[in-house]
Structure 1
């Protein structure tokens, strides 16, 4: 008998297994528990930091099959990055358990994003016989809040804002039942024990009504604007078919032109409004549920008040039970815009929301589940059959990516469209989109988000990376921190952000087009051609400098930019800028002659602003890049012609002369050529001259890899034109998909540069 027992123990094995990746908040421990029971594996599983650790015993063959199962076919929301396996002395466990979590300050950290409501939870919410019927906070291991409610790791209820709610006996039973899909669901709750809704007036007075959701639907149908608290913050909502309500929202929010996003009832409603291809439909229906930019199909008058002067509209589907419930009436589409005043951050705390949004919203539908970190809706589009992130936020953040540094680094990003990145243990972590740091409240949230991510990761940054422009608020914030400082030139960071995304290390040709960024010569860059690596770059070409008058005001008033360009060409400004009064034009030209409040710029973004002004599309903007965006939206894609252009060379640098391009535009304006044709010819010219510059640089420097980056490449037509030309030239080319091409990607590039520099050191 003893001999058999000894033999049995010898044939069994014990292993400690550490699995790192997106393995918390995804139902991984319950999945492992159930697979262990099925496979007769003994031991335990536990959250350890942001990893999952198993101590398992069983027959060697059985353990192998068990590990293959849990690693090769984990829950849908999980992503496994790293596995460690250690053999240990056999102990003789009698069963398998889920043990209490523990922290691990030194381990790899992976933080899950918020996830849209799953079909099973939605079925319960809409089932009149279910205990969670119409319960707005229904969730399970496959869906619900994650990052927005997380205070610290590991992802356990007591480390989230759900710690404020004690589970009732029924929810406790679900939580502890290994056969239930809510087994170890951290935000688990029901109407008896979980968060609840309140409906308030815009002065904070409670509205007494039995069915608050039905009352909210009634208010929306009556044309009221309702501030609705969601997963990551507040939305301002109104009926998308009520033009008066939309106009009121624009007026109150001081947002006269910037597009609004739509939330529609279902995919069928989306198809009524927009042309949707298979890839776009898949993204719309994904568990991330971003805003997707789609081609308009509905009647012009319906969508133009929502997205004026645009060919596309941003559409998303419901992603919380509350959203689904708002569509139980006759409304099929709601304007759902960020709950903020113009240029301010999204509101996420109840008392501040009422204070800041009370002049905009008529009513507030709030709940008492705190949001720890506010997260905007993500925005994506499909370009060349690929998903391209415009704004990386809810569902897509924090974004974890490999980076070749073992140092603890913090990269602070740009000033507008700000994000930041942290790094440790060969991984980088990109924050959600935060906004313009010049807004006081945005800067406050930026600081809080940095502190939160550093605490989650257990990080003590030794290297602080910031923009080369010391006047940026992100650069000034770097000076308040301890650690080694590294300043990274803005456009180099753009280039490297694309290299990091595509795992490029060897030299590339970097084409970086944007609006503003301080160059190493003290001038404003933005039409740049580099040859370089992650560590360093050489500027080998650029758009010829133009002297622009007006400082930051010029960016807000494109007519100043147009006047500056035309004045340099000795062309009569008043001949084309007829809508601008003569006194204003004279003031700018005199300031140009005296070099007063002027700056030299090679920015392609400013050249787009110039042409938009010359065509009288936009003389004053009300949101970032409005003039250039509207210029793209009027172009006729059937036009193939382009204007003449000149490429010169000075001090070894190729230079694109803007004068010949603008002369072509001006001649067409004199001939009264339709603006749609002029816009197309201008776009084609920028694409054509860019391709010729790349060809010349490729031949001179013997580099075949090309990366395209910078905010101008938000322009889908220009990006596609250049990509098509690079294919014909047999170039290896790369553009942004998962990391935004605009300034939101700067922090990733800064991190890439710092990692390369430190790696050499």
Structure 2
């Protein structure tokens, strides 16, 4: 009936708090003459609306289909309610509740309007370094509990001045209910100190800091999620000094540039990459260098990409207004340790790394590193989950309360609650004690925010992982579930893309304990989230050197050369490797003969290491996967040729035999082929072998869906070519995008596997 009055209670789940949603709803309600109220309710938004059926319908379509820019609506519940006869529409005080489906807003880069404020001399926030509004600023890093109100953040110690409070209450301003809102009269302040924490008196810390950067000084700058170590990227001596102080000899360093025009001066930027660089999350984006040799000599040696981000806080923008050059913006930590995020911790632990500190008195509750992303086949792919994208949370229909402890390197943890799947930010290498302590602290913090207590604990099969030991330690009174490493990789991709049926899972990785006690990493599975069968794998190789071989990858090269059946080629390869390494390989060969300190592996990651050393690209590495990364970087993408390979069927298990590949590579070396050509042919061979094997498995098992996962697929050339070729053959192909494809994604895969095991009532 036209004009009939109706009343509904509407609950909106997702990223709906801290984004100006309530004032947006308030304004739409008043425009349409809707009565009632809106409130934060736990981690959601709840609305009670009254009005004519037509106007209420229009109102609901507007707020759900056209929400604020930062909103990410996961679910909406609408229930009919009796009419209460409201006379107006109001914003009610937040309701504290243990409501299901809780979300946390990630930290968001400074919006254009706030940039205008800090540039406008007539603004009350002119050059104020902590300017924010409902569309931007800190969120996850300052939240202590839900709902997202100021009293539940680290901003609770700053009392709003009358001007800020008026803006906070006024629905017509964009700072209406902006929880971190502040100004220079009532908010955090900047202080410039020496590396001992002694204050340097100056009228303008930003201007003084910029002057230091121009002079080649190294600065520790406190940002949204922690400290960065900063210097001019054009000052070769300063860059070398950062590497020396951080003991980071060759690993690429992140860059921050003033604007997109400056980025385009040094990098090739696609339309998609430009959009990601400039979006409100402002991650580090991996971009192809425009010139192999440019002014940034020591920033990213022997790789073809820079990791670049644009300014994302007022501090950054104000520094660049002082005409500083592009800067190194690397994590404020000692290599291997977690990022420093407290003033006291920075002065204590990284004072020897910097000359000065630019600090502030806004506390960080949860440290968050910068996210690292790239574009593959026009898709945004997250390599490191951090600021802007963390924490990951999505409704994935998980039935049980599970805590998953993740892997040991590139660690994260995940948990499931009321159907939701949550994953922490990147937390580093747990073999480092400080990282392990931060891992536990962050886990306790997330449990507190979400009011989470697990019923089940999931962890990796490897008995020596710190994450496994932690899982066993806390699971004494709970059910525990061990999940094979590569099954977890596969399941993480299935979880992201909501895949439940059986698939062909291809997991190319560096390491991971297999069911047979060997180290896996070149695997083909048939299965689902619940269970997998290993149906094919790269031929096992005996690697000598244990943990030392992960660093001295020439030992891996020796191990692969020892498997070459052609004695003449084998001796040629070993003698050449000796001349490159300037060391004897005899001891390693003898140890292989007597099986001393050796392990068997099917890892494609180790094969990449071996080929890198055999080609003389890298014999000893200083950061994870350096050999493989540089092997990809030297390849000539215009080469189409490949090498011979062999797929054998042994007792029903397909074995991908690399012997012909090694021999062909050695022949090319003897004939003087360029390294760029050999690398390309090797990559093309792995691609062809993978596609060939997948087609055979489709024919045998009648499965047409393929999952690609595992750390080796960080290789863009490899994953892109395999993806395109498989799609051209009619496969449905999926790879990790929002959930990292490397070991950071393991924890969510553990959640997916454990939940299915529990669904099958196997525990």
Instruction: Identify whether the pair has TM-score above 0.5, normalized to the shorter chain.
Output: yes
Per the alignment, residue 398 of structure 2 pairs with 405
Q: Which residue of 1 aligns with 2:545?
A: 550
| Alpha-carbon separation, structure 1, partners of 2:294 and 2:45 | 54
Q: Which residue of 2 aligns with 1:739?
A: 739
User: For each residue in 1:225-255, what CA deviation from the matched residue of structure 2 results, as whole angstroms up to 9, or x when unmatched?
Assistant: 0011111111111011111100111111100
Query: Which residue does 1:137 correspond to in 2?
Result: 130
The answer as to whether partners of 2:539 and 2:658 remain within 8 angstroms in 1 is yes
Alignment check: 8 A CA contact 1:261 1:336 kept: yes
CA contact (8 A) 1:708 1:736 kept: yes
Aligned equivalent of 2:327: 334
Q: 1:494 aligns with which of 468, 475, 489?
A: 489
1:645/1:36 Cα in 2 relative to 1: closer, same or farther (>3 Å)?
same
Q: Is the CA contact (8 Å cut-off) linking 2:578 and 2:585 kept in structure 1?
A: no
In the TM superposition, residue 506 of structure 1 has moved relative to its aligned partner by: 1.1
Distance in 2 separating the partners of 1:84 and 1:653: 50
Identify which of 108, 111, 124 aligns with 2:104: 111
Q: Is the 8 Å Cα contact of residues 7 and 50 (structure 2) preserved in structure 1?
A: yes
Correspondent of 2:531 among 533, 536, 544: 536
Query: CA shift at 1:89, angstroms?
Result: 2.8
Residue 479 of structure 2: aligned partner: 484
C-alpha distance in 2 between matches for 1:737 and 1:583 = 42
| 1:58 aligns to 2:51 (yes or no) | yes
Q: Given that residues 403 and 752 in structure 1 are in contact (C-alpha distance below 8 angstroms), is that contact kept between their aligned partners in structure 2?
A: no
Task: Provide the C-alpha distance between the structure 2 equivalents of 1:299 and 1:18, rounded to a whole number of angstroms.
Answer: 53
Q: How much has 1:330 moved relative to structure 2? A: 2.4
Q: Which residue of 2 aligns with 1:676?
A: 676
In structure 1, C-alpha distance between the alignment counterparts of 2:24 and 2:93, rounded to whole Å: 16
Q: CA offsets, 1:466-520, max 9 Å, x none?
A: 1111211111111122421111100111111111112111111111111100000
- Deviation readout 1:540-595 (Å, 9 max, x if unpaired): 01111100011111011110101111123252254221346676422211211221
Alignment partner, residue 463 of structure 1: 456
Instruction: Identify the match of residue 84 of structure 1 among 71, 74, 77.
Output: 77
| Per-residue deviation, residues 152-171 of structure 1 (Å, max 9, x unmatched) | 00000000000010000000
Q: Distance in 2 between matches of 1:344 and 1:672?
A: 43
SS at match of 1:294: strand
Asked whether the equivalents of residues 49 and 105 of structure 1 are also in contact (C-alpha less than 8 Å), the reply is: yes
What is residue 3 of structure 1 aligned with on the other side? none
Equivalent residue in structure 1 for 2:347, among 328, 351, 354:
354
Structure-2 change in CA distance of 1:435 and 1:168 (3 Å): same
1:240 to 225, 229, 233: 233
1:563 aligns with 2:571: no
Corresponding position of 1:661: 661
- What residue in structure 1 maps to residue 513 of structure 2? 518
Structure 1 runs of 4+ off > 4 angstroms?
Answer: 580-584
**Residue 11 (structure 1) shift:** 4.9
Point out the more displaced range, 733-742 or 554-563: 733-742
CA distance in 2, matches of 1:397, 1:198: 28
5 Å matches for 1:428-439?
428-439=421-432
Contact 1:612 1:631 in 2 (8 A): yes
How far, CA to CA, are the matches of 1:638 and 1:405 in structure 2? Answer: 45
State the partner residue of 2:254. 261
Assess if the C-alpha contact under 8 Å between 1:412 and 1:419 holds in 2: yes
Q: Does 1:388 align with 2:381?
A: yes
Stretches of structure 2 that go unaligned for 5 or more consecutive residues are: none
- Do the aligned residues in 2 keep the contact of 1:145 with 1:231 (CA within 8 Å)? yes
Please list, as runs of the form range in 1=range in 2, the aligned pairs for 1:138-217 lying within 5 A after superposition.
Answer: 138-217=131-210
Q: Cα deviations across residues 63-116 of structure 1 (Å, max 9, x unaligned)?
A: 222222211211111122222222333222232222221222142101110100
Q: Is the 8 A contact 2:74 2:394 kept in 1?
A: no
- The CA deviation at 1:748 is 1.5
Q: Secondary structure at the match of 1:404?
A: strand
1:307 aligned to which of 291, 300, 313: 300
TM-fit CA distance, 1:190: 0.2
Residue in 2 aligned with 1:321? 314
Query: SS of 1:128's equivalent?
Result: coil
Q: What residue ranges of structure 1 are gaps of 5+ in the alignment? A: 1-6
SS of 1:375 mapped into structure 2: coil
Q: Corresponding residue for 1:634?
A: 634
1:21 equivalent in alignment to 2:20? no
Contact 1:404 1:756 in 2 (8 A): no
Say whether the 8 Å CA contact 2:489–2:709 is kept in structure 1.
yes
Corresponding residue SS for 2:124: coil
Whether the aligned pair in 1 keeps the contact of 2:259 and 2:310 (CA below 8 Å) is yes
For residues 656 and 61 of structure 1, the distance between their equivalents in structure 2, rounded to whole angstroms, comes to 65
Deviation of 1:298 after TM superposition, in Å, equals 4.5
CA distance in 1 between counterparts of 2:395 and 2:7 reads 31
What is the count of residue pairs matched by the alignment? 754
Q: Deviations over 1:268-321 (max 9, x none)?
A: 111111111111100011001011111111561423310100111011100011
User: What is the aligned-residue RMSD (CA, Å)?
Assistant: 1.6
